[in-house]
């Protein structure tokens, strides 16, 4: 057997004003056939798993491109086409091929391509031929499209948000595709449109039990795999929204039935999936009244770089300053210009500095402060699950009783160890602001007295009814209360 592996992806927020270009991919690391010789990250981890599994069986592995960009706006057309065509050229050279395994996000949009993954899978199918088994692993914040379903044999999404199961799902996809290539199974897929647009946190109920239920349905009664594509709300594409996805062994009707059943279960509990969002002042007041032994963690959900937001908004920082709150830690705030100034001034310097607010109205106003540069660190990393991820250079700035950590590589914060290169101990603060929607949770919840999800303006405001979708024609909750009303579902 010959197995071809590659990764191309990003999560495209079609509403933010900065494009995803080559630099954005390169900042996250682009590898032309050797990413599995390097430390795994969220989207290269599947390629490591696939190589190991194939080599254990004595199968030959052909490794192509790894290119994954931090989420931002629409991908520059030539950049998408360039990476895509590199994968396709490698695939042509590798023919004949038995199995193609692709690590993708599932919500990548490029100029001229609303469905990059569907486009890539279609071209891969054309080259690899009808007999090749084609599998894709997707982030659960994906748009599951007809083109993707038509051209892949098996698609598997992460089940957990935070995405702690990327390697586990890669194992699952490998088994699925290897069994199919050996003729043991014949995977067929069906998806069910839940007519919902939202975000669902899987460590807490009711989603925790829903994930357990998905797992319980697998590997019996002819069901090979069950996924829930949560969808990525900030993509203006026709198939935006939540979909249940089932892979069955040869029986498409069974796949459809299970997908519909699960989708309807989720729809029935839609109201209980909603998260309470706090207003900044209320959240800060809550932290003020909390006992000081453990920090209250405020998630600045609307400014999560992982959803394509700039990560330099100042709404929460301004609210803290206005209330005169002392003992807060804010980070990571993306501001390469401020870092350059801090670096030039040096540790110990006190100076006037303009911080954040640089990417338009979604960033808020820049904040002018007299800061002390407490410490600098270069080429830093943070933990996310089993992986280490770059944060760039860091500066710890102190002003008015608030410690602000700025960084040079736009990324959300995943873990308290992001602050370690500066010698900061997050547990000694009364309040921590993290620019992340949910991935921070696994790392920060254990040190937090409470976790509060706070909403402000930003690149990914969690007001799902108000997102300006123009391409989806089918109604969805919460824009309408019951999108199935009057229809036979
Ligand atoms: Zn995701």
- The whole-number pLDDT of residue 488 equals 56
Separation CA 158–CA 169 (nearest Å): 6
320 CA to centre of ligand 1 in angstroms: 29
230 CA to centre of ligand 1 in angstroms: 9
26 CA to centre of ligand 1 in angstroms: 20
153 CA to centre of ligand 1 in angstroms: 22
Residue that has been written with the tokens 């969690």 in this structure: 462
Task: Dig out the tokens for 77 from the structure.
Answer: 């057309």
- The whole-number pLDDT of residue 489 equals 52
- The whole-number pLDDT of residue 213 equals 97
160 CA to centre of ligand 1 in angstroms: 9
Helix residue ranges, H only, 129-232: 146-151, 166-181, 207-217
439 CA to centre of ligand 1 in angstroms: 9
309 CA to centre of ligand 1 in angstroms: 14
176 CA to centre of ligand 1 in angstroms: 22
- The whole-number pLDDT of residue 208 equals 97
Q: Does 130 have pLDDT greater than 60? A: yes
Per residue in 91-105, pLDDT tens? Answer: 999 999 999 999 999
187 CA to centre of ligand 1 in angstroms: 25
Global pTM exceeds 0.85: yes
Task: Dig out the tokens for 423 from the structure.
Answer: 């010698």
How many other CB atoms sit within 10 Å of the CB of residue 45?
25
Bridge-based pairing state of the strands 402-407 and 223-229:
unpaired
Average pLDDT estimate for 114-119: 98
- The whole-number pLDDT of residue 386 equals 79
399 CA to centre of ligand 1 in angstroms: 34
Task: Dig out the tokens for 114 from the structure.
Answer: 């609303």
146 CA to centre of ligand 1 in angstroms: 20
443 CA to centre of ligand 1 in angstroms: 16
138 CA to centre of ligand 1 in angstroms: 9
69 CA to centre of ligand 1 in angstroms: 13
Q: SS3 of 178, please?
A: helix
Per residue in 439-473, pLDDT tens? Answer: 899 899 999 999 999 999 999 999 999 999 999 99
304 CA to centre of ligand 1 in angstroms: 11
Separation CA 292–CA 295 (nearest Å): 7
300 CA to centre of ligand 1 in angstroms: 16
Q: Does 108 have pLDDT greater than 90? A: yes
Per residue in 142-162, pLDDT tens? Answer: 999 999 999 999 999 999 998
Nearest-Å Rg of the Cα atoms of the chain is: 23
- The whole-number pLDDT of residue 276 equals 87
- The whole-number pLDDT of residue 387 equals 81
324 CA to centre of ligand 1 in angstroms: 35
231 CA to centre of ligand 1 in angstroms: 9
185 CA to centre of ligand 1 in angstroms: 29
The DSSP 8-state label assigned to residue 201 in this structure reads: -
- The whole-number pLDDT of residue 349 equals 98
Per residue in 267-318, pLDDT tens? Answer: 999 999 988 899 999 999 999 998 889 999 999 999 999 999 999 999 999 9
- The whole-number pLDDT of residue 41 equals 87
Q: Does 486 have pLDDT greater than 80? A: no
DSSP 241-265: S-EEEEEEES-HHHHHHHHHHHHHH
Measure CA of the first residue to CA of the last residue in the chain; give whole Å. Answer: 42
Domain residue spans in the chain?
2-273, 277-461
10 CA to centre of ligand 1 in angstroms: 10
* Rounded-to-5 percentages of helix, strand, coil across the chain: 35, 25, 40
Separation CA 101–CA 178 (nearest Å): 10
**What is the CATH number that goes with domain 2-273?**
3.40.50.2300
287 CA to centre of ligand 1 in angstroms: 28
Phi first, then psi: give them for residue 487, nearest 5 degrees.
-120, 150
140 CA to centre of ligand 1 in angstroms: 6
- The whole-number pLDDT of residue 292 equals 81
144 CA to centre of ligand 1 in angstroms: 13
385 CA to centre of ligand 1 in angstroms: 14
Per residue in 8-53, pLDDT tens? Answer: 999 999 999 999 999 999 988 999 999 999 988 889 999 999 999 9
Average pLDDT estimate for 233-245: 98
Per residue in 321-336, pLDDT tens? Answer: 999 999 999 999 999 9
Mean pLDDT over each residue of the chain, to the nearest integer? 96
Q: SS3 of 356, please?
A: coil
Phi first, then psi: give them for residue 81, nearest 5 degrees.
-65, -35
161 CA to centre of ligand 1 in angstroms: 7
Yes or no: say if 25 and 83 are a contact pair by the CB < 8 Å rule.
yes
141 CA to centre of ligand 1 in angstroms: 5
Per residue in 49-66, pLDDT tens? Answer: 999 999 999 999 999 999
Bridge partner residues of 379 (DSSP): none
Cis peptide before 332 (omega within 30 of 0): yes
């Amino acid at each position: 057997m010959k197995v071809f592996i590659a990764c191309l992806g990003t999560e495209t927020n079609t509403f933010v004003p900065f494009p995803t270009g080559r630099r954005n991919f390169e900042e996250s690391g682009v590898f032309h056939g050797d990413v599995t010789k390097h430390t795994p990250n969220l989207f290269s981890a599947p390629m490591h798993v696939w190589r190991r599994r194939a080599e254990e069986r004595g199968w030959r592995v052909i490794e192509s491109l790894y290119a994954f960009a931090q989420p931002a706006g629409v991908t520059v057309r030539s950049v998408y086409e360039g990476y895509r065509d590199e994968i396709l050229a490698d695939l042509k050279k590798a023919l004949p091929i038995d199995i193609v395994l692709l690590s993708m996000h599932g919500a990548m949009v490029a100029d001229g391509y609303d469905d990059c993954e569907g486009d890539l899978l279609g071209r891969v199918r054309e080259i690899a031929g009808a007999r090749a088994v084609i599998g894709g692993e997707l982030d659960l914040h994906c748009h599951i499209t007809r083109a993707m379903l038509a051209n892949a044999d098996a698609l598997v999404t992460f089940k957990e948000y935070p995405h702690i199961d990327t390697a586990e799902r890669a194992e699952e996809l490998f088994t699925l595709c290897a069994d199919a290539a050996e003729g043991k199974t014949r995977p067929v897929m069906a998806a069910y449109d839940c007519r919902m647009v939202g975000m669902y946190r899987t460590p807490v109920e009711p989603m925790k039990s829903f994930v357990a239920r998905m797992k319980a349905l697998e590997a019996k009664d002819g069901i090979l795999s069950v996924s829930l594509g949560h969808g990525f709300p900030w993509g203006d594409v026709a198939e935006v929204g939540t979909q249940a996805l089932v892979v069955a062994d040869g029986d498409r009707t069974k796949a459809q039935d299970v997908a519909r059943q699960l989708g309807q279960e989720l729809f029935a509990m839609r109201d209980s999936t909603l998260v309470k969002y706090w207003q900044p002042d209320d959240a800060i007041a809550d932290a003020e009244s909390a006992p000081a032994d453990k920090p209250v963690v405020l998630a600045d959900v609307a400014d999560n770089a992982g959803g394509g937001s700039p990560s330099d908004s100042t709404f929460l920082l301004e609210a803290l300053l206005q209330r005169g709150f002392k003992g807060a830690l804010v980070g990571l705030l993306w501001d390469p210009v401020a870092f350059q100034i801090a670096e030039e001034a040096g540790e110990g310097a006190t100076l006037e500095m303009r911080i954040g607010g640089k990417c338009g109205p979604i960033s808020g106003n820049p904040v002018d402060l007299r800061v002390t540069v407490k410490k600098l660190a270069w080429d830093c990393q943070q933990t996310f699950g089993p992986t280490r991820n770059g944060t760039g250079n860091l500066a710890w700035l102190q002003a008015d009783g608030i410690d602000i950590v700025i960084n040079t590589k736009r990324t959300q914060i995943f873990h308290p160890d992001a602050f370690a290169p500066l010698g900061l101990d997050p547990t000694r603060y009364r309040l921590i602001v993290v620019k992340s929607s949910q991935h921070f949770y696994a790392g920060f919840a254990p040190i937090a007295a409470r976790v509060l999800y706070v909403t402000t303006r930003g690149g990914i405001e969690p007001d799902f009814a108000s997102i300006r979708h123009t391409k989806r024609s089918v109604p969805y909750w919460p824009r309408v209360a019951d999108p199935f009303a009057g229809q036979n579902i």
